[in-house]
Amino acid sequence: MKLIYELSSKGRGGVRIPEDKISPEEMVPTELLRAEPPELPEVSESEVVRHYTKLSRLNYSVDTHFYPLGSCTMKYNPRACEAAASMPELCEVHPLWPQLRHGGLLTQGSLQILYNTERLLSEITGLAEFTLQPMAGSHGELTAVMMMAAYHRDRGNKKTHIIIPDSAHGTNPASAALGGYDVVTIPSDASGDMDIDLFKEALNEETAGVMLTLPSTLGVFNPRVKEIIDAVHAVDGLMYYDGANFNAIMGRIKPGNLGFDICHLNLHKSFSTPHGGGGPGSGPVGVCEKLQPYLPISRIAKTKDGVYTLDYDHPKSIGYVAPFYGNFSILVRAYAYLLMLGREGLRGTSDRAVLNANYLLEKLRGAYPAVSEGRCMHECVFSGKSLGEGIHTLDLAKALLDRGVHAPTVYFPLNVPEAIMIEPTETETKETLDEFVAMMEEIAELSQTDPDSLKAAPITTSVGRLDEVAAAKNMDLVYVQPAAAE
């Protein structure tokens, strides 16, 4: 595809600026005026439209392709939630507006949405109270570790480390370390759960807490979670629920009821916000009663007369973790999603996500070794070790791109060699899943009969196989006009 500069033709344009009405000298101080006009592409309107439409089609997205990227929950997000977030009444509010202005309507309305969203998240997680400020799951984790530290400081506890299983997302140890704790990593046992004996050896009076993803990144629900939680509470440690996989258990299990003290949810994974490309996100954090005093300020409160206010009077709060109230429009999407689905709808969503993952697990078992023996939750993990000589999971991922499917997550979790982690999500049809299975089987077959065809993939994408290390280390982000032909 051509670059927009390469389409440029001197004197062509798509807009006309009425020159007599604009005097650059009046608008810009003379010393700041350009001496030379900038080198902008000169193109017609239709060229611009076609150019950017073509560019947008080079992307893989849930709107265009099956996107089974495990751990990320790349699910379809209903348009109704987009419509809610686009309402002018919600787009145009500004957090610096004094409360109660404009008859109190607009800001009262937005505060009410935030207040109700907090209540709904509390209801579905079984935790006492939520903060909506954190801007990502990882940010929620850090917020949570800061609250854990504040709790232990307050109690005079001497705590030095946080325990994390080796299947955890990399953000867990990073957050624990940023929060001032050493990280103790526990290997997984044969079934993919945190090794319970090694865990008990590591647990002691200095354990600040345990960060657990449930179901784990292997898509397995740890059957001994109650035992882990009781052991941690016995040393006044705190149980942290990494809610990135909440899509598997919505409406079925509440982390708070299991005994978790604190959790984050990724609204951009389970609750209707398109994500990818690094943002924007939202990672609200919920806490049990004993951690309430440490929540970030400001808190959204409701008076007896039904007026929503901002409450700053929390002397033990860890303070602000983000400006204002978090990513407001993402919270609106989540609120709309929760109201739209309701209790039954949420449960049905998780049920179908789990059903779809188990369907793939059983269908693909023949072609690829599965990591878990029994059933999985919302995602399933295989190994690419069985692919033909010299063919790796990376080759499989590239070959899928040629077949019009976004690659699953590969080489994660780290404790599975040649990992292939597939999360189909709830909205995919049986037909789509069957097509995917056929592709996966075809690729397994080709890895034996025609491995070179896989090594060459992808051949249908705009950019072929890259040297990924070189691409990351020697980034080339600047367009340089090719030298004129001699």
Ligand X SMILES: *Cc1c(COP(=O)(O)O)cnc(C)c1O
Q: Is 263 in the site for ligand X (CB under 6 A)?
A: no
Segment near ligand X (CB under 6 A); pick from 45-53, 134-142, 414-422, 440-448: 134-142
198 vs 188, 298, 437, CA distance in Å? 9, 41, 37
Q: Who contacts 379 (Cβ-Cβ below 8 Å, separation ≥6)?
A: 70, 71, 215, 217, 219, 245, 248, 357, 421, 422, 423
Residue 247 vs 356, nearer CB to ligand X = 247
Read off the tokens for 139.
């940010």
> Within 13 Å, how many C-alpha atoms sit on residue 308's CB side?
19
Alpha carbons 64 and 42: distance in angstroms, whole number: 31
Q: Binding residue for ligand X (CB under 6 A) from 71, 133, 273, 350? A: 71
- Judge contact between 196 and 224, C-beta under 8 A: yes
Segment near ligand X (CB under 6 A); pick from 132-140, 142-150, 309-317, 441-449: 132-140
Q: Is 419 in the site for ligand X (CB under 6 A)?
A: no
- Judge contact between 209 and 259, C-beta under 8 A: no
Nearest CA among 366, 371, 361 for reference residue 416: 371
Phi, psi of 297 (to 5 degrees): -95, 160
Q: What spatial distance separates the first Cα and last Cα of the chain, rounded to whole Å?
A: 24
Query: Over 229-275, what HEC string results?
Result: HHHHHHCCCEEEEEECCHHHCCCCCCHHHHCCCEEEECHHHHCCCCC
Residue 107 vs 213, nearer CB to ligand X = 213
Which parts of 75-94 interact with ligand X (CB under 6 A)?
none
How large is the C-alpha radius of gyration of the chain? 26
Alpha carbons 400 and 61: distance in angstroms, whole number: 14
The three-class DSSP label of residue 484 is coil
For the bound state, the minimum distance from the C-beta of residue 244 to ligand X, rounded and expressed in Å, comes to 3
Phi, psi of 466 (to 5 degrees): -100, 155
Residue 274 vs 283, nearer CB to ligand X = 283
Residue 139 vs 403, nearer CB to ligand X = 139
Strand partners, 211: 240
Q: Is 136 in the site for ligand X (CB under 6 A)?
A: yes
Q: Is 137 in the site for ligand X (CB under 6 A)?
A: yes
Q: Is 215 in the site for ligand X (CB under 6 A)?
A: no
For the bound state, the minimum distance from the C-beta of residue 170 to ligand X, rounded and expressed in Å, comes to 8
For the bound state, the minimum distance from the C-beta of residue 267 to ligand X, rounded and expressed in Å, comes to 9
Q: Is 408 in the site for ligand X (CB under 6 A)?
A: no
Q: Is 217 in the site for ligand X (CB under 6 A)?
A: yes
Q: Who contacts 428 (Cβ-Cβ below 8 Å, separation ≥6)?
A: 66, 356
Residue 181 vs 308, nearer CB to ligand X = 181
Alpha carbons 306 and 319: distance in angstroms, whole number: 26
For the bound state, the minimum distance from the C-beta of residue 406 to ligand X, rounded and expressed in Å, comes to 16
**Residues belonging to the chain:** 486
Residue 246 vs 294, nearer CB to ligand X = 246
Query: What residue number has its CB nearest to ligand X?
Result: 137
Residue 216 vs 447, nearer CB to ligand X = 216
Q: How many residues bind ligand X (CB under 6 A)?
A: 13
Binding string, residues 26-55; x marks residues near ligand X by CB under 6 A: ------------------------------
For the bound state, the minimum distance from the C-beta of residue 200 to ligand X, rounded and expressed in Å, comes to 23
Q: Is 213 in the site for ligand X (CB under 6 A)?
A: yes
Residue 399 vs 420, nearer CB to ligand X = 420
Segment near ligand X (CB under 6 A); pick from 61-69, 131-139, 321-329, 344-352: 131-139
Read off the tokens for 183.
């990280």
Q: Is 327 in the site for ligand X (CB under 6 A)?
A: no
Q: Binding residue for ligand X (CB under 6 A) from 77, 131, 207, 266? A: 266
Burial (Cβ within 10 Å: 0-12, 13-18, ≥19) of residue 415: middle
Which parts of 283-302 interact with ligand X (CB under 6 A)?
283
Q: Are β-strands 161-165 and 207-213 bridged in parallel, bridged antiparallel, or unpaired?
A: parallel
Binding site for ligand X (CB under 6 A): 71, 136-138, 169, 171, 213, 217, 242, 244, 266, 281, 283
